[in-house]
Amino acid sequence: MGTTVITGGTDGIGRALADRYLERGHDVLIVGTSAEKGEAFLAAAERRGAGDRARFLRADLSRVAENHRVIAEITRGYPAVDLLVLGARFHRSTRAETPDGLESNFALYYLSRHLLSHGLIAPLSRAERAVVLNFGGSGQAGPVRWNDLQLRHGYPGTGALGHGGALCDLLGVHFARLHADTPVHYVLNHPGVVSTSFAGEYDPATAAAVDRLKATGKPVTEAIAQIQPFLDEPPARLTAVLEGRQVPTDGQAFDPADAARLHEMTERLLADLPR
């Protein structure tokens, strides 16, 4: 029936998509850090008679090496991947670095998605038609801080997520160009405010703001209903969606030269890191 891989599949929109694709008969692999949430997904799948199609991989995707491990496990475990959902995020009000020495949002929100998108091109290409769903900015984020991708100067708090979203938009643009000869479609999605776990570590003011977002955000079921048609029938090789509406991808946020520049900078950064 198909294979779906979901980072951030243990919670929020990712978990709801995991349940949806299990229902549709897919093999579903979710990735997250919480063993407890992963076990809860497996137990729920078992209760629904889909235990043999559900899998949980525990990994900290803010670490470069962990992304390589996940890519290797997926490539070994599944002949093809039909849907790859890139939804892991963890926000911090205060700037923090991963053990690789990278700013944490940059590492999880952008770099992991760069690694997984390109690193899984082989199994994605073996699907009849594959879709990568990346929760980017869909043109609403930015501008990119070209001289400070690691947000060392004037860390923008919640704005760090927006910065990651802008980088993900450019990732989608370059991916679609680089892999134009494959059956892989790239969908960028900004779902608007959705009531989820909002995984993160927040200072008191941000925590209060996050509580308000949780109280007023749309339910995950609505967020999924808005994106589902674009996953079923992606209208273009690169599609950007904002709360269920397709938005143009010819603006500054999707500039192909910027996308190529970011790709090159990212590859150079990765070349300097230990695998």
Nearest distance, CB of residue 68 and ligand NAP, angstroms: 14
**Out of 5, 8, 93, 234, the residue judged to bind ligand NAP by CB under 6 A:** 8
Of the pair 37, 118, the CB lying nearest ligand NAP is at: 37
Q: Tell me which stretch binds ligand NAP (CB under 6 A): 58-66, 202-210, 233-241, 253-261.
A: 58-66
Q: Which part of the chain contacts ligand NAP (CB under 6 A), choosing from 21-29, 32-40, 145-153, 226-234?
A: 32-40
Q: Is 60 in the site for ligand NAP (CB under 6 A)?
A: yes
Q: Comparing C-alpha atoms, which of 165, 183, 189 is closest to residue 237?
A: 183
Residues 220-249 that bind ligand NAP (CB under 6 A): none
| Using rule CB under 6 A, residue 87 touches ligand NAP | yes
Q: Which of 198, 202, 230, 254 binds ligand NAP (CB under 6 A)?
A: 198
Residue 199 CB partners (closer than 8 Å, separation 6+): 11, 12, 89, 90, 91
Residues forming the site for ligand NAP (CB under 6 A): 7-8, 10-14, 31-34, 37, 59-62, 87-90, 108, 135, 161, 190-191, 193-194, 196-199, 217
